[in-house]
Amino acid sequence: MNRDKILITGAHGQLGIELVTLLESTECEVYGYGRNEMDITDFEQVNDIIDRVRPTVIIHAAAYTRVDDAESEIDQAFLVNAYGTRNVAVAAQKVDAKLVYISTDYVFDGNSHEPYNEFVAPSPINVYGKSKWAGERFVADLHSKFFIVRTSWVYGKHGNNFVKTMLKLGQKQKELFVVDDQIGCPTYAVDLAAQIFQLIQTEKYGIYHVSNSGSCSWYEFAKAIFEETGLIVRLEQCKTKDYPRPAARPLYSVLEPMALRLNGFKELRHWREALKEFIGLYEVES
């Protein structure tokens, strides 16, 4: 990867910042673009910037991620997640850059009771998931050297996420209700960025499920957060139906990293180990 040029969209987001930080510590040239620097929905702008930079790798992390708002902002969700991704894929193909597209566990319906591997057909149940699945298809149809990276329940130092929300609420409230019937895989943004770096150093293209090992419910995740911090909070279990949201959530979206395993990559550490590291760093900096 020495002297490779890597262009990152969504560079100011939760994962984007971790990618920029990691890659700038290598010998790569890093070009990070946020929404104000590159509007991925502007076909000409995307083409012009990518043609000028001529990166060898593009990591496309920009996305419309407001899951509930997407139900009423359908056009915007598909404009960004589907056609924005098409724009990046077309421009990446023109300059022969490897392309990484960050996707989601929400491409699955959650009706399974077994982890989803990369060969299970997607069947999204909300607008966000459908728009990200449309983005996946544009990548596969329009690009020849791609990594589609599906991940889930991402948290880290930057941006808004479940861990930071629980820590804030836990300092203000002594009782919290958290759903126990949605099961998934928490993913530490630092670990996700590190695995993406491993992928782009190869030509082992395809779809990859990248989350920390193991699975839990949101309730179990919250319980672990408070155990690691020592915050005394009374947690009560509740059901998804008790707190209806505009967008349906898959009740079971555990990702199996079959592609990592079969392509000789090491699976990510257990989510609890990653959480412990994050909490330690977060408390030091707070």
Kindly indicate the confidence band of residue 140, based on its pLDDT and cuts at 50, 70 and 90. very high
Q: Judge whether residue 2 has pLDDT over 70.
A: no
Looking at 163-177, 187-201, 264-278, which range is the least confident one? Answer: 163-177
Q: Judge whether residue 282 has pLDDT over 90.
A: no
Phi, psi of 124 (to 5 degrees): -65, 150
Kindly indicate the confidence band of residue 26, based on its pLDDT and cuts at 50, 70 and 90. very high
Across the chain, mean pLDDT equals: 96
Residue among 31, 33, 64, 128 flagged as catalytic: 128
Q: pLDDT at position 286, please?
A: 54
Q: Judge whether residue 203 has pLDDT over 50.
A: yes
Q: Judge whether residue 142 has pLDDT over 80.
A: yes
128 is catalytic: yes
Secondary structure string (H, E, C) spanning the chain: CCCCEEEEECCCCHHHHHHHHHHHCCCCEEEEECCCCCCCCCHHHHHHHHHHHCCCEEEECCCCCCCCHHHCCHHHHHHHHHHHHHHHHHHHHHCCCEEEEEEEHHHCCCCCCCCECCCCCCCCCCHHHHHHHHHHHHHHHHCCCEEEEEECCEECCCCCCHHHHHHHHHHHCCEEEEECCCEECCEEHHHHHHHHHHHHCCCCCEEEECCCECCEEHHHHHHHHHHHHCCCCEEEEECHHHCCCCCCCCCECCECCHHHHHCCCCCCCEHHHHHHHHHHHHHHHC
pTM: 0.96
Q: Judge whether residue 8 has pLDDT over 50.
A: yes
Mean pLDDT computed over 153-173: 94
Q: Encode pLDDT of 52-92 as tens digits.
A: 999 999 999 999 999 999 999 999 999 999 999 999 999 99
